[in-house]
Amino acid sequence: MSDQFDLYEKLNGPVGGARNMGGTKQVAYAAPIGWFATIADLPAAPVTLGEYAAIVDDHIFEVGHNFLEIYCTLDKGEINDEPNGETDGRSFTSKATLFLPGAEKEKFGFANAANNDKWILLIPMPDGTVRQIGTKDFFAELLFKFGSATNKGGVRGFMIDVEAVGPDLIVYEGEISLTPAI
């Protein structure tokens, strides 16, 4: 008899000498849901534990659209996943924080325009694993907090909180398209 429980296997910690740096890389990728022609999904019939979490197909954009790059100050990017629900009805809330320095009017405009849109974000971690927050069924939200800092310290800019609820924690292995689709 074969079922999903045949997939469980021993899970080890990092192998001696392996790098396991925390945080995120300094560039994340974002696109509003309306820019996609096709949003890839997890496999319908996963065979391995990794397939339960990995989208391997590419997200396809409508003509003229692609992922936007969002810079993040070093050591200010973070991803945290939390459980939701109760016994026999669990899900996850995936949260990320990115700090976008600066106070240019274009950044305020982005905050205004993106504030109530629905998003998919791809956030690379230092080891190259790319986490996806938001899906075609459970969108990510972007929440912007601007701070001016003080004359003596800090840096002014936008703390961008990213949040999505859904049934799965997702790793994205498809192409990150940075040129407009034709």
Taking residue 19's Cβ as centre, other Cβ atoms within 10 Å add up to: 7
- Point out which residues pair with 71 in neighbouring strands: 27
Write the CA distances from 13 to 10, 17, 103, 131, 171, integer angstroms.
10, 11, 42, 19, 19
C-alpha 171 chain-centroid distance: 9
> pTM for this one?
0.92
CA–CA dist 52, 155 (Å, integer)? 40
pLDDT by 10s per residue, the chain, length 182: 345 556 667 777 777 777 889 999 999 999 999 999 999 999 999 888 889 999 999 999 999 999 999 999 999 999 999 999 999 999 999 999 999 999 999 999 999 999 999 999 999 999 999 999 999 999 999 999 999 999 998 899 999 999 999 999 999 999 999 999 99
Q: Tell me which amino acid residue 42 is.
A: L
Closest CA relative to residue 161, chosen from 78, 75, 69 = 78
Burial of 59 (0-12, 13-18, 19+ CB in 10 A): buried
